[in-house]
Structure 1
Amino acid sequence: MTGSGSFVIVVGFDGSENSRHALKWAVDEAKLRDGQLRLITVWSKPPLAWYPALLETAVGDKKVTEDSPQQVAETIQAAALKTAEDEGVTATGQVVHSDSAASAVLDAATAADLVVVGSRGHGGFPGLHLGSVSTQVSSHAPCPVLVVHPKES
Structure 2
Amino acid sequence: MSERKIVVGVDGSDPSKCALRWAVRQAALLDGSVHAVGAWEFPAFYSWEGGPMPPDDFEDAARKALDDAVDQIEDEDLPRVPIERTLTHGHAAQALLDAAEGAELLVVGSRGHGSFYGALLGSVSQRCAVHAKCPVVIVRY
1:119 aligned to 82, 107, 110, which one? 110
Percent identity of the aligned residues?
43
Higher strand fraction (1 or 2): 1
SS of residue paired to 1:40: strand
Unmatched runs of 5 consecutive residues or more in structure 2: none
The aligned counterpart of 1:91 is: 83
Contact kept in structure 2, 1:117 and 1:134, CA below 8 Å: yes
Kindly report the root-mean-square deviation, in angstroms, between the aligned alpha carbons of the 2 structures. Answer: 2.2
1:74 equivalent in alignment to 2:63: yes
* C-alpha contact (below 8 Å) 2:105/2:134 kept by paired residues: yes
Q: Which amino acid aligns with 1:135?
A: Q
The normalised TM-score by structure 2 is: 0.81
Partners of 1:82 and 1:16 in 2: how far apart?
A: 14
Paired amino acid for 1:70: E
Match of residue 32, structure 2, among 26, 30, 35: 35
1:135 aligns with 2:132: no
Which of the two has higher C-alpha Rg?
A: 1
AA matched with 2:86: Q
For normalisation by structure 1, the TM-score amounts to 0.75
Which ranges of structure 1 fall in alignment gaps of 5 or more residues?
54-66
Residue equivalent to 1:107: 98
Alpha carbons 1:6, 1:34 under 8 Å: kept = no
